[in-house]
Amino acid sequence: MSRIPVSIVSGFLGSGKTTLLNRLLRQPGMSDTAVIVNEFGEIGLDHELVEAGDGSVVLLPNGCVCCAVRGSFVQALDDLHQRRARGAVTRFARVVVETSGLADPGPLIQALLAEPSLRARYLFDTVTATVDAVHGAATLDTHLEAVRQLAVADHIVLTKQDMLPEDTAEATVAELTRMLRQVNPGATLGTASAAIDALVCAAPFDPEQGVELGRWLRDTAYRGRQECRHGRYRGRVRSFCVVREEAIDEGALELFLSGLCKHLGARLLRLKGIVRVAQRPDRPVVVQGVQTLLHEPVRLARWPGPERRTRLVFITLDIEQDEIEDMLGLMERMQARALLARMRAGGLPAAAA
């Protein structure tokens, strides 16, 4: 059975998530959608605001997903799948999760990438983040949650543009766009209609199959170092792409990825990439991660396009590109030394080193 795509709609408090979700669910192609609403606080309202339409939308009552409790999210998706299998709910073909405005979507993404029960049944698809054109800049200036939401987004929707004063609207949108691009250069940025089209029409992102890898990675948008130049996160949030012509030793890659988790942790806002591995240069490895968790690297059957270089895109907090490059270089040297030592001790044929 093919895996069911799960998309996340995130965005700061009042930025228009529920409005977007309702519009999304009204599209003809979305009638087979299950919805999970992550409510903040004891008494949730959002699930009542999401329109159930013709009844084909499944709502999990009472805020059964809590951003702080990854376990309950896993449980909710597991239960939903079982109910689907029993025929207790409509046979949905996709899931959309609306996070609370104060939630960091990172733990939900981690669960989708790493929990074995979810990985078997669901496919982590896209994150859409709503940003309010009126308050977005001020929110990003002051709230790390908003920065984290933005960093993991594949699509950014600029809401409430109609509420901007006519004479300054264009300049405000241009300034906000610059700011958003400094944090996340790879995400598509547009109106609700564009994001809805992308969600309804596009095939799910499946880096494990190498499907549409360019659309998923968008590494060209990361060329040239970029950093946030506004507010509290000025000079602290950076995005960049590490490119390597030479293949990377598999052992060094493993050391590098575990080093990233261990040393960078929550400062690693987002990592995606494709790696040319020395041991199998014809079969690249896809890596991705959010904060402390990196998805187990997945080896593709072949390169998805003509470009055969390693490309790793990063969005980081308080980490410079040079630190990452140094760490990778160090792991490569360590691995080379270890291989050499084993070779000298007679443990490896010379060709392996």
Ligand X SMILES: Nc1nc2c(ncn2[C@@H]2O[C@H](COP(=O)(O)OP(=O)(O)OP(=O)(O)O)[C@@H](O)[C@H]2O)c(=O)[nH]1
Residue 38 in the binding site for ligand X (CB under 6 A): no
Task: Give least dist CB 33 to ligand X, A.
Answer: 17
Q: How does DSSP assign 35-55, residue by residue?
A: EEE---SSS--HHHHS--TTT
Helix ranges (DSSP H) in the chain: 17-25, 46-49, 70-86, 106-114, 116-121, 136-142, 144-151, 166-183, 192-201, 213-217, 250-264, 321-344
Residue 128 in the binding site for ligand X (CB under 6 A): no
Residue range at the interface with ligand X (CB under 6 A); choices 8-16, 28-36, 172-180, 317-325: 8-16
Residue range at the interface with ligand X (CB under 6 A); choices 23-31, 112-120, 141-149, 154-162: 154-162
Tokens in use for 35? 């919805």
- Which residue's Cβ lies closest to ligand X? 101
Task: Give least dist CB 133 to ligand X, A.
Answer: 8
Task: Give least dist CB 19 to ligand X, A.
Answer: 3
From residue 154, alpha-carbon distances to 9, 109, 167, 189 in Å are 10, 13, 30, 9
- From the list 18, 184, 239, 310, which residue makes contact with ligand X (rule: CB under 6 A)? 18
Instruction: Phi first, then psi: give them for residue 170, nearest 5 degrees.
Output: -60, -45
Q: Report d(CA 218, CA 327) in Å as an integer.
A: 23
CB neighbour class for 268 (10 Å; exposed up to 12, middle 13-18, buried from 19):
buried
Instruction: Phi first, then psi: give them for residue 334, nearest 5 degrees.
Output: -60, -45
Identity of the residue, 50 or 287, whose beta carbon is nearer to ligand X in the bound complex: 50
Task: Give least dist CB 161 to ligand X, A.
Answer: 7
Contacts with ligand X, 216-235, as mask; x by CB under 6 A = --------------------
Residue 245 in the binding site for ligand X (CB under 6 A): no
- Residues paired with residue 4 on neighbouring β-strands, in sequence order: 122
Residue 304 in the binding site for ligand X (CB under 6 A): no
Residue 160 in the binding site for ligand X (CB under 6 A): yes
Residues forming contacts to ligand X in the complex (CB under 6 A) are 11, 13-19, 46, 101, 159-160, 162-163
